[in-house]
Chain A
Amino acid sequence: DAGITQSPRHKVTETGTPVTLRCHQTENHRYMYWYRQDPGHGLRLIHYSYGVKDTDKGEVSDGYSVSRSKTEDFLLTLESATSSQTSVYFCATTGTGDGYTFGSGTRLTVV
């Protein structure tokens, strides 16, 4: 996981506040993804990016937005955090499509 850094690693926030999670890669990979992982649901795709300023929605995108202004950074924003967004968030990248490289995750708790 050395090539992907997620920050923060842990965060507790209040309902209704905006939250931004950061993913930074040194792999120079074109594709970047945000997933959330919840018990019983596995990993679900929130948003992904196929290049600078090129992003698209995944299967659970409501309440989330993303931005990618540089190849190495992919930001996930919870516009107004809700308790249902309490989860572990993973960033992943791929260059050739032959497998993802994952970050170590951000554990977010919304109280």
Chain B
Amino acid sequence: SQQGEEDPQALSIQEGENATMNCSYKTSINNLQWYRQNSGRGLVHLILIRSNEREKHSGRLRVTLDTSKKSSSLLITASRAADTASYFCATALTGNQFYFGTGTSLTVIP
């Protein structure tokens, strides 16, 4: 399976702190994406990083990709209570099929 694996499975931090979660995958990819899921809702696309990119920023989000280690990290800076959610990485081998990991559950304590 192409499925990625997020680490840690759960993370609890204080508001204002930074949150880092990691994703490892098994085979070469075309791109990697991160999604957020609030409880009881669908997933929301956060950011995409292509295999030829090493780092990408979007607002308070910073994503890195290390294709030699087959891993990616998502950093959320200055976290807020509203960032409480589950975060998933999704990898695309080719085309338009994405494989999802099991997610990191982030709790930001006010």
A interface residues, Cβ below 8 angstroms from B? 1, 4, 31, 33, 35, 40-45, 48, 50, 58-59, 90, 92, 94, 97-105
**What residues of chain B lie closer than 8 Å to A94, measured between beta carbons?**
96
Interface-central residue, B44, B48, B98, B102, by most chain A CB under 10 Å: B98
**What residues of chain A lie closer than 8 Å to B43, measured between beta carbons?**
43, 90, 92, 100, 102
A50 B103 Cβ-Cβ under 8 A: no
B101 A42 Cβ-Cβ under 8 A: yes
- The total number of A-B Cβ pairs within 8 Å is 54
CA distance A31 to B40 in the complex (A): 24
Number of interface residues of B (CB under 8 A): 23
Shortest CB–CB separation between residue B35 and chain A, in angstroms? 8
What are 20 A-B contacts with C-beta separation under 8 Å?
Answer: A1-B41, A4-B42, A33-B97, A41-B102, A42-B88, A42-B100, A43-B100, A48-B96, A48-B97, A90-B43, A92-B43, A100-B33, A100-B43, A100-B98, A101-B45, A102-B42, A103-B42, A104-B41, A104-B42, A105-B40
